[in-house]
Amino acid sequence: MSKESKKMLVAVAGQPNSGKSTIFNILTGARQHVANYPGVTVEKKTGSYHLKEDTVELVDLPGTYSLTSYTQEERIARDFLLNEKPAVVVDVVDTSNLERNLYLTFQLAEMGIPLVINLNMMDVAERRGMNIDAEKLGQQLDSPVVLTVGNRGKGKKELKEAVWTISKEGKSNQFRLEYGEALESYLNPLEKLLSDDTVLSANYPLRWLAVKLMENDTEAQRLVRENSSDGTKTLNFVDEKRKDYTLKHKKAPEKAIAQMRYQVAQKIVEASVTRKKEIKRSLTDRIDQIACNRYLGPIILAATIYLLYELAIVQGYNITPYTWPLLAAFRDFLASILPSVGFIFDPFFRSMPLWVTDGTIAVLNYVPIFLILFALIAILEDTGYMARMAFILDRIFRHFGLHGQSVLPMVISGLYVGG
């Protein structure tokens, strides 16, 4: 029998801005197919690459901080993982924010899918003086760890290799987050109850389901209601347990669960990361102190906008006396080679080209203004001042309903002055 080529489904998951699309692009060589997830306007990017005899189908999942069912992005990522059951998930981690990123990693691991932990943004982490014991981190998460600098393509080969290796092993992730005695005494009986249900236990990771039910997750409740023969009984049991926990511990279980995830993340980070003295970000900080100052900020902003106006519009217009003669000379040249002027009417072959030329010249006359304006805006964008402008103007933008998300994480550190 000939060696058969196999298709393998791999998902790229991670928190917003961790570099998922960058990693997706370096793996697939940016050969991608863009569609929408069924029924929603969220983009679904797929692509593929070959390794050895396999074809890897790669899917770029939406970036999410968590995997609750509150937002569309989270529901999409989670439904994809539950229903499409990818062979491997590449968990793209912003290493410079390792602790917060692990919060999502835990939830991916809980779903039982084999993970490759992709520590991306290693250059930023190193600049922050982080030294990471990748092996130790991998042991604690029962997953291989690969270091990358996505935007420079560093670590691409190792990442492909790790995905291939783990897909061949074909064993599920054995990492199990221990939520502590108080919560476990609720989670364990619930998991046991769920395991008695043949449909649920055949289709869903039960530990994950137990945790989500304890978190009062509405989509998890729907899964139980629709798939279990005894759904109502299970949900009543959950409800009772949630009330009981809240009463006993004066705290909603979902809060305790989030807290435990962060506690464990902190422990893992402490065990696998050592920090040298941070390489100072003081320059950025000091510039911010001035650029975003309560009083100076708006003044600098106004000055910047005035400067834009002065340089682009005023000075750009001052250039036109120099560029205009060139354009005018061209028109004169054109006029000289066209049929000569008529006594009453100009011949059509004269007037028509001249109309077109006049119109074009009228627009070309403003080209210096646009060139200067675009160049200046590019500079503002690159230095990160645009982001500061957004910060200062947020209040005004809000009146026009222009803000995106309710919690706007401005990871200023990602906006180093000069990139």
Partner 1 sequence: MTLGEMKPGQECEIVDVIADGILGQRLMDMGFIPGTRIRIIRNAPLIDPIELEMKGYHISLRHSEAKEVEVKTL
Ligand X SMILES: Nc1nc2c(ncn2[C@@H]2O[C@H](COP(=O)(O)OP(=O)(O)OP(=O)(O)O)[C@@H](O)[C@H]2O)c(=O)[nH]1
In the complex, the residues that contact ligand X under the rule CB under 6 A are 14, 16-22, 63, 120-121, 123-124, 149-151
Closest residue to Mg ion, based on beta-carbon distance: 21
Shortest Cβ 404–ligand X spacing (Å)? 11
The H-or-E segment that residue 117 falls in is: strand 115-120
Q: Measured from the CB atom, is 119 or 210 closer to Mg ion?
A: 119
Binder among 46, 48, 246, 259 for partner 1 (CB under 8 A): 259
Ramachandran sector of residue 216 (left: φ over 0; alpha: ψ -120 to 50; beta: rest): left
Q: Measured from the CB atom, is 20 or 207 closer to ligand X?
A: 20
Q: Measured from the CB atom, is 160 or 212 closer to partner 1?
A: 212
Chain centroid to CA 409: 12
CA-wise closest residue to 146 among 293, 27, 65: 27
Residue 18 makes contact with Mg ion by CB under 5 A: no
Q: Measured from the CB atom, is 171 or 399 closer to partner 1?
A: 399
Q: Measured from the CB atom, is 46 or 72 closer to partner 1?
A: 72
Site residues for partner 1, 132-151, by CB under 8 A, read: none
Q: Which two tokens stand for residue 330?
A: 């061209």
Please state, in angstroms and rounded to a whole number, the distance separating the CA atoms of residues 255 and 105: 18
Binder among 35, 202, 395, 400 for partner 1 (CB under 8 A): 395
18 binds, among partner 1, ligand X, Mg ion, none (CB under 5 to 8 A by kind): ligand X
96 binds, among partner 1, Mg ion, ligand X, none (CB under 5 to 8 A by kind): partner 1
Residue 100 makes contact with partner 1 by CB under 8 A: yes
Residue 21 makes contact with Mg ion by CB under 5 A: yes
Binder among 201, 412, 416, 417 for partner 1 (CB under 8 A): 412
* Secondary structure (3-state) at 87: coil
Site residues for Mg ion, 198-217, by CB under 5 A, read: none
**Rounded to 5°, angle at Cα 18 from 15 and 22:** 125
Please state, in angstroms and rounded to a whole number, the distance separating the CA atoms of residues 103 and 16: 13
Please state, in angstroms and rounded to a whole number, the distance separating the CA atoms of residues 132 and 122: 10
Q: Which of the stretches 166-174, 366-374, 375-383, 388-396 binds partner 1 when contact is defined by CB under 8 A?
A: 388-396
Shortest Cβ 317–partner 1 spacing (Å)? 32
Binder among 140, 392, 416, 417 for partner 1 (CB under 8 A): 392
End-to-end alpha carbon distance in the chain: 54
Residue 176 makes contact with partner 1 by CB under 8 A: no
406 binds, among partner 1, Mg ion, ligand X, none (CB under 5 to 8 A by kind): partner 1
Binding mask 51-90 toward partner 1 (x if CB under 8 A, else -) reads --------------xx-x-xx-------------------
Q: Measured from the CB atom, is 160 or 207 closer to ligand X?
A: 160
Q: Which residues share a beta bridge with 43?
A: 36
CB distance 149 to 123 below 8 Å: yes
Shortest Cβ 198–ligand X spacing (Å)? 38
99 binds, among partner 1, ligand X, Mg ion, none (CB under 5 to 8 A by kind): partner 1
CB distance 147 to 159 below 8 Å: no
Binder among 54, 79, 99, 346 for partner 1 (CB under 8 A): 99
CB distance 44 to 35 below 8 Å: yes
Cα dihedral angle (98, 70, 234, 179), rounded to 10 degrees? 20
Residue 394 makes contact with partner 1 by CB under 8 A: yes
DSSP notation for 154-203: BTHHHHHHHHHHHHHH-----------HHHHHHHHHHHHHHHT-HHHHHH
CB distance 148 to 119 below 8 Å: yes
Closest residue to ligand X, based on beta-carbon distance: 63
Residues in the chain: 419
17 binds, among partner 1, Mg ion, ligand X, none (CB under 5 to 8 A by kind): ligand X
Q: How big is the site for partner 1, counted in residues (CB under 8 A)?
A: 41
Please state, in angstroms and rounded to a whole number, the distance separating the CA atoms of residues 315 and 324: 14
